[in-house]
Amino acid sequence: MKKFFIFLIKCAFWFVVFTAGLVLVYKFVPVFYTPLMLIRYSEDTSKTKSIKHDWVAFNDISIQLKKAVICSEDQKFVNHNGFDMVAIEKAYKNNQKGKHIRGGSTISQQTAKNVFLWPNRSWLRKGLETYFTFLIELIWSKERILEVYLNSIEMGKGVYGAEAASQYWFKIPAKKLSNYQAAAIAAVLPNPRTYKANPATKYISKRKRWIVKQMNFYGELEFPKKKTKNEK
C-alpha cells in the first residue's frame, strides 16, 4: 500500500511538472493544433473535410472582434481570476431545474478546454478544465489568454481562429473586421457548426445587433497591468 501511494505521488508530481511546462511553452509559442481540431477532423466523414486555421498575432486581430467575444461570452473577463462565480452559480441552479443556459464558462475556461482538453462533458474534464484555467491565469497575461482563445476557438465547421473565420465568412483579414462583422462571428460561437455568420439568419442578426449594442456600452478595452516586485 505504501508503494502504491508513493507511485500516486510521483504520478501527480510529474503530471504537474508536465502540464505546467506545457502551459509555460504556450505562453510564448503559437498553438497551431488543439485536441478539438483533431477530434472534429476525425469525426467528419465528408470527403471535403479540412482544418482551416491560421495563427495571427494579437495586434493583427481587430479590436472589434476582441470586444465582440468579450461582450458576448464573458463581460467580466478582464477583471475575474478565471472564474465567474455568479454565472457558475446561476448555471448550476438552472441545470438543477432541468434548464440549459449558456454563460457558465468564462473565456479563460473555454481557452483551457479548447487548447488542452476534449469537448465531451464529464466531471473529469471539468476538473481538469478548472486546473488548466488556474494555470493559464497564473502563468499567462489576460492579453495572451484572449490571443490564444481568438486563435483557437471554433468559428465555423472546420474553421478555427479569427483569421480563418474572417477569411471564410467575409473574405477579409481579421484586423479589418467591422463592428457588425465581428459581432456576426461572435454570434455563432454557441453553435459554430450550425450557425452562419454570413449570410446571417434572423436569429444571428438579432444576436449581432445585441452584441454591437453591448460593445458600445462596454467602452474602451483595457487590460489590467501586473504589479511589479516594487509595487505593493
Per residue in 167-214, pLDDT tens? 999 999 999 999 999 999 999 999 999 999 999 999 999 999 999 999
Q: Rounded to whole angstroms, what are the CA distances from 69 to 3, 48, 182, 184, 225? A: 49, 29, 8, 10, 21
- Domain-located, residue 231: no
Range of the domain at 134: 19-41+51-218
List pLDDT tens digits, range 43-99.
Answer: 888 888 899 999 999 999 999 999 999 999 999 999 998 887 776 666 656 655 655
- Domain-located, residue 56: yes
Mean pLDDT of 10-29: 94
Count of domains forming the chain: 1
> Domain of 80: which CATH number?
1.10.3810.10
- Domain-located, residue 111: yes
All three cell numbers of 118, joined, read 476534449
The predicted pLDDT at position 1 comes to: 72
The predicted pLDDT at position 200 comes to: 92
- Domain-located, residue 226: no
pTM for the model stands at 0.90
Q: Cα separation of 192 and 149, whole Å?
A: 15
Phi and psi at residue 9, to the nearest 5°: -65, -40
- Is residue 230 very low, low, confident or very high in pLDDT (cuts 50, 70, 90)? low
The predicted pLDDT at position 6 comes to: 87
- Domain-located, residue 200: yes
- Domain-located, residue 96: yes
